[in-house]
Amino acid sequence: MREKFGREVVLEKPKDRSFGHFATPIAFSLAKELRQSPMKIAEELASSFDNHEIFTSVESVKGYLNFRLSENFLSEYAGWALDNQDEFGKQEKSEKILLEFVSANPTGPLHIGHARGAVYGDTLYRLAKHLGYDITAEYYVNDAGNQIDLLGLSIALYARENIFKEDVEYPESYYRGEYLEGLAKGAIQKFGKEIFNDESRYKELALWAKDGVMEIVVESLANLNIHFDTFVNESSLYNDWDRVMDKMDANDKNAIYKKDDKIWIASEAKGDDNDRVVVREDGRPTYLAGDIVYHNQKFEHGYDHYINIWGADHHGYIPRVNAAVEYLGYDSNKLETLLSQMVSLLKDGEPYKMSKRAGNVILMSDIVDEIGPDALRYIFASKKSDTALEFDLSEFKKQDSSNPIFYIQYAHARIKTIISKSDLSEDEIMSASLKNLDENADSLMFDALLLPEIIDDAFASRQVQKLPDYLKALAASLHKFYYDCRIIGTEDEAKLLKLFMLVGLSLRTGLSLMGITAKDYMTKEED
């Protein structure tokens, strides 16, 4: 309605559907500018919608504009959606986006904290794809630095103790877990057992092993229906450090300076708490230097927008990276960093116990094995990513309405079941008119047609929880309608089944955008 009002208009959905399908408080925001009362402005605006084919009525109510969509518009839109199911909710956005998420160190399997950022990022990716954005999902492989050296040491110690039965002394920090066994046995075949007793070769061992760890990571993500378009290795970036440092210096002579035999970036001048070291006394670039090179590479690829999804512990890292982006000559407003908070797990009300095979973390794969990928994806998509999350695994194993993902899946299965019980053919159902529905059916049709708006809003606001919230509410409306209204054998059977098909389309499409496949048949435990 930008054309009508000359500005973006906020449309709200009244809780009481008798007020209409949408309402806007635009008259209140115009009151000061026009020096008129909101009621008068709303009345004048309402009168300008006379004979508008989309709306049955546009009314002024206490300064609000209330819109009621026409029966013709709703029924035609519903018919189009069912005839063009693959296009439902799609748009043609032109923006090119690079989305980086997960990016866990290739030193061990993904833990449950990684899963939250993974699901959040992949859901954003799916929403953007559906909306027509040219979006690339990228994984930054942190395969340089102390954590990689520690991987080689950890494999060697594991092999010496568990395979060769030696007495070993473990340092304070090292990696542990069952995954080390496969790496150790593979290393024996690749290098021979001598490598485990030669500390000078631990780096070689680690660089070989990190590829094996990445295979474990990629497989775990695939089991959660998450895939990446590109991978970038941190180790490949440092050869470009001198050029990137010169680039910052050329753009701003105050960007880089030397102090105490270290090289610093003047990030405090760009909003950071302090300046940061980018090259140590011994000439080795820091982890921040790798991130600077990586972000320079990103911007040199010429995307319109860049999104990072990081763990909450990286909050303080944001201003220093933004500072580097500015010194590199780019607009840091094009870089958006979203944070993913930690997760607390319960089982039957008690803290979830870490498995012995996992070492000192809760493995993502363990939770997927226990409750399934659909439940896990739903859990992590259903809450704002930047808020703490605690959930009880036992709640998501129940096969009843208390389990929200089961509740939504059961709504889709219920639709399939009731259609299968009808003697009407699909052509007879599809040819039925969706006009002259009663108020409850009209409300259900409107709810089902809201999905495109939800998709757009969920991505634009970066609040993917709006999608599962919508699906749960739509499933509730479907279940209530099913219990309140007889369908099979009635005069309106065809049109009501067509309405159910529309609801099924919205549920199926929404679940797909969450990386979940809708189910056609399910059984329910007695409540």
CA distance 186 to 412: 46
3-state secondary structure of 390: strand
Rg (CA), the chain: 28
What does the pLDDT read at residue 526?
Answer: 46
Angle at 373 between CA 453 and CA 184, to 5 degrees: 135
Rounded CA separation 281/121 (Å):
37
How far is it, in rounded angstroms, from Cα 255 to Cα 252? Answer: 5
**φ/ψ bin of 302: left (φ > 0), alpha (ψ from -120 to 50), beta (otherwise):** left
CATH 3.10.450.50 fits 101-236+341-396, yes or no: no
* 398: amino acid identity, one letter: K
Topology of domain 2-69 in CATH is Gyrase A; domain 2 (3.30.1360)
pLDDT at 527: 43
Q: Residue 404: CA atoms inside 13 Å, Cβ hemisphere, count?
A: 22
Contact 273, 323 (CB under 8 A): no
Sign, CA torsion 383/503/439/1? positive
Six-digit token pair at 386?
A: 């930047």
Do the strands 230-233 and 134-141 form a parallel or antiparallel pair, or are they unpaired?
A: parallel
Query: CA triplet 372, 373, 375: central angle to 5 degrees?
Result: 75
Distance CA 474, CA 94 (A): 30
What residue segments make up the domains of the chain, in order of their start? 2-69, 76-92+398-513, 101-236+341-396
pLDDT tens-digit profile, the chain (527 residues): 444 445 567 777 777 777 778 888 888 888 888 888 888 887 888 777 766 778 777 778 888 878 778 888 899 999 999 999 999 999 999 899 999 999 999 999 999 999 999 999 999 999 999 999 999 999 999 998 889 999 999 999 999 999 999 999 999 899 998 999 999 999 999 999 999 999 999 999 999 999 999 999 999 999 999 999 999 999 999 999 999 999 999 999 999 999 999 999 999 999 999 999 999 999 999 999 999 999 999 999 999 999 999 998 888 999 999 999 999 999 999 999 999 998 888 888 888 876 544 556 789 999 999 999 999 999 999 999 999 999 999 989 888 889 999 999 999 999 999 999 999 999 999 999 999 999 999 999 999 999 999 999 999 999 999 999 999 999 999 999 999 999 999 999 999 999 999 999 999 999 999 999 999 998 765 44
Specify the pLDDT at position 377: 97
User: Using CA atoms, how far apart are residues 42 and 61, in angstroms rounded to an integer?
Assistant: 8
Q: Could you tell me if 342 and 117 are in contact, meaning their C-beta atoms sit under 8 angstroms apart?
A: no
Provide the whole-model pTM: 0.91
Q: How far apart are CA 28 and CA 157, in angstroms?
A: 70
Q: Which two tokens stand for residue 37?
A: 């009362």
Superfamily of domain 76-92+398-513: Isoleucyl-tRNA Synthetase; Domain 1 (1.10.730.10)
Which residues sit opposite 277 in a β-bridge?
264
Strand 305-311 relative to strand 96-100, pairing: parallel
Cβ count within 10 A of residue 366: 19
Cβ atoms within 10 Å, residue 309: 24
3-class secondary structure, 488: coil
Which of 325, 344, 342 is closest to 333 using CA atoms? 325
